[in-house]
Structure 1
Amino acid sequence: MMPKRPELDPQLSTLLAGMPDFPPLNRETLEQIRPYAAGPIEPILEGRAVTRQEVTIPGPDGAELPLTVLSPPGATTAPCVYWIHGGGMVMGNRYSQIDIPLEWLERFGAVVVSVDYRLAPEAGGAALVDDCYQGLLWVAAHTAELGIDPSQIVVAGASAGGGLAAGVALKARDEGGPALAAQVLIGPMLDYRNATTSSRQFSGAPGVWTREMNAFGWQSVLAGNAPPAYVSPAVAGDLTGLPPAYLDAGSAEVFRDEVVTYAFRIWSTGGQADLHIWAGGFHGFDALFPAAPLSAAARETRTDWLARHLTKN
């Protein structure tokens, strides 16, 4: 029997009902869907006091790895938000959801660096998180020229990017990499097992990300292989020694329970984590409809938390 689903926030429900139906996500439809997951950055930057720099660096295996650097005027010892985009690990690019960290550029004078990691199924296994980690190493090696305070680097991401951000934080801890001031995990994609109650609740459900879509994303990355913990942080055996974490999700989404469990496991080690489950929120609600009251509250709460973890704000 299908578990009963939490109800959507009424305003979000109305907004979601006005959108076209999302097609099934599979190998045949992926190429059709990808262009809609990644729009241009120019309209988002219009009217903002932001300097944009496009950089290409060697990835961990020598492949080209594009980065976008967005800086406030005159950045010298600014905080840095290292942004990892969402898209189920199969779509999106470094401009996806970029309006979220741009709010932090404006609020904190932060330099935003967004990484264009390779996507599944063309890339798989640890390649995605290794790309993201390589970009972080480049940021840490170029803080002076980018005007970044090396003690104020935050890794952040949404959906798949949130899961990869958690993986980057684990990898940085294990490999003696850059010290991170915080990690911001927005509706993160953490658990390849796709077996929680919230996952089952949103099997066949209308919405932007269902259990079936989630299964396709993970299958595309893993191709039937067991994942390393950096790819699916929910299977990591040790969550000690991580930077303070902010985690959030909607009550009406696939990732709800794995996000709650990840926060609980951080607390169990004595670590710091703030957890927010937004009643009536579906996956990605605050990115899709940022002006909705629940979205505005979620974004403001996240930003206020980050303000408390940056010494220069």
Structure 2
Amino acid sequence: MSNGIPGTDSRTAASARATAAASTAASAESPRPRTGGLSVLRIGLSRVGYETRMYFRTTDSVFFTFLFPFIMLAIFTAAFGASGNIGTAPDGSGGISVGAYYLPGMLAAGMLLSGVQNLAVDIAGEKGDGTLKRLGGTPLSPLSYFMGKIGQVLVTGIFQAALLILVARVLLGIDLPTEPEKWLTFAWVFLLGVITSAFLGIALSALPRSGKSATAVIIPIVLILQFISGVYLQFYVLPEWMQNLASVFPLKWMAQGMRGVFLPDSFASLEQTGAWEFPLIALNLAIWLVVGLVLSRVTFRWIRKDT
């Protein structure tokens, strides 16, 4: 099971040309965008559209970050659906389908892939092919650049989650929550999780030494987190030490928040403390958001220090 993204070089080469052109145009329209708040905001918003278009034009990135949760949900449903419902009573009644149980994990995985994996690999590639070096020679503000990247993750993440929920309901027949408070919880867990993932993706982009090594460095991290955080494996069957380790990282809390939205309340007893712990989920995600924000600002460079 691999989340590798082939063809990164071709994508970053195209991104380099388009980004340089967009930045030149922005510079011509606004001579000093770094000092003008409105100009920074305007350029940042325009870059959201540019980054989103570039994302959907790159088929390998769309497949391995946008469509991957759909594929995994279909595989788990087909592979384990015949074994019966999860959480059934001793008499065989009750429980939920395999697809319904794995839907929250796939939603959380989509948030992580769209933010951490997509941005970390993408930005590392832009460093490797010289895109960021060229942007550093323009008046483009790092804040505008960040806005474009984070906005792209937010737009594509919303689209991915909506489509995944639609597929789960229409094609897999999974029952969705009917209580408004459940959907309100979904909204804040999703937004907090996506933005946190985006900042962490920007921060992790400083880790690979080159664009070519980005997938080899980032994907194992993302893959391990998915296995220990209740995405591919049922979280309650993992050993306690692994659950404790997963609790250090944000994906576990994103997956738990999504389980709290989409699973029956009786499944809360399977969590570590026997409850959904929404306040603790918000606290942990907020902490990681701040950590990601600080690391992004501290580690981000238009060019690598060792270049």
Larger-gyration structure (1/2): 2
Q: Which of structures 1 and 2 has the larger relative contact order (alpha carbons within 8 angstroms, sep 6+)?
A: 2
Provide the TM-score with structure 2 as the length reference: 0.27
Name whichever structure is richer in strand by fraction.
1
